[in-house]
Structures are given as C-alpha cells and as structure tokens.
Amino acid sequence: MKVTVHVWRQKNASAAGKFVTYPMDDISPDMSFLEMLDVLNDRLEERGEEPVAFESDCREGICGNCSMVINGTPHGPMRNTTACQLHMRSFSDGEDIYIEPWRAKAFPPIKDLVVDRGALDRVIQAGGYISVRTGSAQDANALPIPKLDVDLAMDAATCIGCGACVAACPNSSAMLFTAAKISHLGLLPQGQTERMERVRNMVRQHDDELFGSCTNYGECQDACPKGISINFIGHLNRDFLKANFLKVKNPRREVESQ
C-alpha cells in the first residue's frame, strides 16, 4: 500500500517545528506503524539525512515509551492500542497520515516526536508508593484481599505511564495517570496507612508540574491504550476531598519542619 506521512520535525526545544511530508510506497499492511517509520528512517539514513527521532522500546505495548499523536489521536485510531501495536492495515491505501508529538506544557519538546515526560516520574515520587522496607514484610497470605478489590486495583495498576491521557486532554491534565496510581494503592489494604497523605502530595505535585485540572471531558479514557476508566478520577477526588476535609497532616513534612 501507499501512504503519505506528514511528520512533525523540530530540531530542538528552541527551534521552530514544521510538518515535513514523506511519500511512502510499498508499505505492507502487516507492518507495524513504527516499522513503517523504521523504513522511512532507514531510507533517510542511507541518503545521509537525519532520521525522525521518536521513542519506542518494548514494541509490545507495555513499556509506555512510544508517544505520538497520529491523525489527531494519541496512539492513533485503534482503541486500547499503543502506537507500537498499531498496524498499517488500520489505514487505507493512499491515506495521508499526520504524526505529531505529545503537546502539553508539562512535556517540553526535545526533538521531533520526543518530549520530556519527567513530570510523570515526579508525580510518582511525591507519594505513588507504599513505604515498605526490603525485608520487613509479613507472609504474603497473612492478609486476604477480596478478589474484586484486587481486580479493580489491577485495572488501575495496568497504567503504562505513556502520557496519552495528557496529550488527549484539552486541559493537558494528568489526572487519569495520577488517579490510576492513587486508586491502585488506595484500593489495597497495604496502601491505607499513607492513603490521605499520598493523595494530597501527588495532587500538589501534579499541579506544580503545570498539568491542567480535570473538567471531566473524558478524552483521557478514550485515548488510554490500557482502557483505564475515568471512574478512577472519582476515587481520587473522593480521597482528595476527604484528606482536605480531615485536614490530614503530612507527617513527613511535619518532621522535616521541626
């Protein structure tokens, strides 16, 4: 099949970017979308031109590295599918394909389709964990957890941290990402001790990173390659309200300020 790709090329953060058009002939429908870009890059390299910079690693839809907006949709047209798992058979012969990076204030551009998603890591560092030291755990079966609770926690935990929710959101909010971690840990008994402190700290970090607020557009759950439900943002909001209402103290900060 033949397609025409229009790729966002941007030398670096300070340079202006623009779409550059590349006609691609003899593309196999069984190629993955990123393999199509590999073919393009191979040709560019052989001509001594700079290939298109884009991120990908596992190419199995689980590492969360690939990150591109394809024809206006993060990860492209197929639901519950990362860009690396998308195949050319999802496009029609002769189609024009526009490829852009994630665009959000919290994701500064690096080059071409690569942006800096370090903000997501910093949101996790603000409290997206259970503080258990290596070696201090009790027997794994000492605490039964209802299967439905674990299954729901797993639905949230399946987030791959790609940032598609941010790219899809008109407010560039990372609420779905943040809510997924808060729900994963908050639904489990092990996560209760730090639950209120966690939600306050993670939401504060989320806002400090210049992610926008959630106003219930719902674009995030449509774009999420793992099908994570917007209901988890409800979990987050409930915990956040409760934590603020109860004026839960932040023990770590209290200790630090003493």
Partner 1 sequence: MTLDSNIPEGPIQDKWDNHRFSMKLVNPANKRKYSIIVVGTGLAGASAAASFAELGYKVKAFCYQDSARRAHSIAAQGGINAAKNYPNDGDSVWRLFYDTVKGGDYRSREANVYRLAQISTNIIDQCVAQGVPFARDYGGLLDNRSFGGAQVSRTFYARGQTGQQLLLGAYQALSKEVARGQVELVTNTEMQDLVVVDGHAKGIIVRDLRTGELSMHAADAVVLATGGYSNVFYLSTNAMGCNVTAAWRAHKRGAFFANPCYTQIHPTCIPVSGDHQSKLTLMSESLRNDGRIWVPRDKDETRRASDIPEEDRYYYLEERYPSFGNLVPRDVASRNAKERCDSGFGVGQTGLGVYLDFRDSINRLGENAVRERYGNLFEMYERITDESPYKVPMRIFPAPHYTMGGLWVDYNLMSNLPGLFVIGEANFSDHGSNRLGASALMQGLADGYFVIPYTIGNYLARQTPGSVTTEASEFSQVESEVRDRIETIVNLDGERSVDSVHRELGRLMWNECGMERNADGLQGALKEIPSIRDQFWQNASVPGTSGELNQTLERAMRIADFLEFAEVMCTDAYERNESCGGHFRSEYQTEEGEALRNDEDYSYVAAWEFNGVGQKPTLHKEPLAFDHVPLTQRSYK
Pull the structure tokens for residue 199: 């939600």
CB of 217 to partner 1, least distance (A): 26
Pull the structure tokens for residue 100: 């852009």
User: What stretches of the chain show up as alpha helix (H) in DSSP?
Assistant: 33-46, 118-125, 147-157, 164-168, 175-186, 195-208, 219-223, 231-245, 251-257
The verdict on 92 binding partner 1 (CB under 8 A) reads: no
CB of 24 to partner 1, least distance (A): 12
Site for partner 1 in 207-246 (CB under 8 A): none
The verdict on 110 binding partner 1 (CB under 8 A) reads: yes
Count of residues interacting with partner 1 (CB under 8 A):
82
Pull the structure tokens for residue 175: 């609420």
Q: Which of 215, 212, 210 is nearest to 230 (CA)?
A: 215
3-state secondary structure at position 141: coil
Q: Which of 231, 232, 230, 212 is nearest to 222 (CA)?
A: 230
The residue from 21, 28, 92, 193 that contacts partner 1 (CB under 8 A) is 28
The verdict on 204 binding partner 1 (CB under 8 A) reads: no
- Per-residue mark of binding to partner 1, 44-63 (x: CB under 8 A): xxx-xxxx-x-xxxxxxxxx
Identify which range of 73-81, 91-99, 170-178, 240-248 contacts partner 1 by CB under 8 A: 73-81
Site for partner 1 in 113-152 (CB under 8 A): 114, 116-118, 120-121, 124-141, 143-147, 150-151
3-state secondary structure at position 183: helix
The verdict on 76 binding partner 1 (CB under 8 A) reads: no
Identify which range of 1-9, 80-88, 213-221, 233-241 contacts partner 1 by CB under 8 A: 80-88
The verdict on 10 binding partner 1 (CB under 8 A) reads: no
The verdict on 191 binding partner 1 (CB under 8 A) reads: yes
3-state secondary structure at position 87: strand
Instruction: Compute the residue count for the chain.
Output: 258
CB of 216 to partner 1, least distance (A): 27
The verdict on 38 binding partner 1 (CB under 8 A) reads: yes
Q: Decide if 59 contacts 84 (C-beta within 8 A).
A: yes
